[in-house]
């Protein structure tokens, strides 16, 4: 059985996340304390006792979700991943799991990414919306039309599963696109409570900042392939991994296509590691024959 490990992204956070690991496992406690030192504040306290609002801040959410996922993975006795993937931010957790990045380097990159994205969000009022039950091709076509006709930015951002695609862009661009999606037959086109247009050209300032940090970081030869969001296929080469990780910030998360590629390459068992169960649900919507479970 080919065993894939998958790691969630922003949005799966909850108050108290990771406390069970901290309390029960000395190694987990040590890693949380190491992260607190690197972060320069006790991020573990925010995770364990912070309010929902505290955890919603991008510069807190991303390191928190990363920490929970990676530390949970490290508590698995003998994980032996055959392949890994992560949804957006989760790609950094996946790269620790397959040995391409050290825990410390990945945590530093995630912290830089989170702060850079927070700054980019503050530059231009922007948002995202979930479009349900409309063909991907139609969503893509409407985004292109709105951009051409209005000059507003709106692009497909997250291909989550068949019939669920998230779009991203300027507030006006997303609002116009949502109306057109509903008129075209979408079951719903729902604005999301997010602070910015992730995975769109509006993240370009953050991409430039992250690129410099990634280029200065050592990436190792991975023990198994990572199926990266931007290319939706197996990648083993460290230079390619770096390039794809940078491009992901302004490009789409091709989660549907990534899971399909993993299945085509033999995956039959998907373990989601980290907070929540969102990815298990998406995997089953992509292919209901898969075996799924979770570690958190």
Token readout for 55 is 């955890």
Provide the phi-psi class of 133: left if phi over 0, else alpha when psi is between -120 and 50, else beta. Answer: left
Length of the chain: 296
Active-site residue, selected from the candidate residues 3, 68, 87, 199: 199
178 with 129: CB under 8 angstroms?
Answer: yes
Angle CA(12)–CA(16)–CA(18) in degrees, nearest 5? 75
Q: How far apart are CA 207 and CA 65, in angstroms?
A: 20
The active-site residue out of 44, 88, 200, 258 is 88
Contact 271, 97 (CB under 8 A): no
* Residue 88 known to be catalytic: yes
Query: Quick check: is 68 catalytic?
Result: no
Sequence-separated (6 or more) residues with CB below 8 Å from residue 57: 118
Residues classed as catalytic: 88, 199
């Amino acid at each position: 059985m080919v065993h894939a490990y998958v790691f969630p992204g922003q949005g799966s956070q909850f108050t108290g996340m990771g406390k069970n690991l901290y309390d029960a496992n000395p190694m987990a406690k040590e890693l949380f304390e190491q992260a607190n030192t690197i972060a320069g504040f006790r991020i573990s306290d925010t995770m364990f006792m912070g309010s929902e609002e505290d955890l919603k801040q991008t510069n807190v959410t991303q390191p928190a979700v990363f920490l929970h996922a990676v530390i949970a993975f490290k508590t698995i006795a003998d994980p032996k991943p055959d392949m890994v993937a992560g949804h957006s931010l989760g790609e950094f957790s996946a790269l620790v799991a397959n040995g391409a990045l050290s825990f410390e380097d990945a945590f530093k990159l995630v912290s830089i990414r989170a702060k850079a994205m927070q700054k980019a969000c503050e530059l231009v009022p922007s948002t995202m919306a979930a479009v349900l039950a409309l063909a991907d091709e139609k969503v893509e076509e409407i985004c292109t039309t709105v951009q051409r006709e209005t000059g507003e930015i709106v692009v497909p951002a997250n291909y989550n599963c068949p019939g669920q695609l998230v779009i991203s862009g300027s507030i006006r661009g997303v609002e116009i696109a949502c109306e057109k999606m509903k008129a075209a037959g979408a079951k719903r086109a729902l604005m999301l409570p997010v602070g910015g247009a992730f995975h769109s050209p509006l993240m370009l300032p953050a991409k430039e900042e992250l690129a410099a940090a990634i280029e200065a970081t050592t990436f190792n030869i991975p023990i198994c392939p990572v199926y990266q969001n931007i290319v939706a296929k197996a990648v083993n080469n460290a230079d390619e991994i770096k390039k794809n990780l940078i491009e992901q910030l302004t490009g789409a998360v091709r989660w549907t296509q990534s899971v399909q590629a993993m299945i085509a390459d033999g995956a039959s068992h998907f373990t989601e590691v980290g907070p929540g169960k969102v990815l298990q649900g998406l995997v089953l919507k992509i292919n209901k024959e898969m075996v799924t479970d979770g570690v958190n």
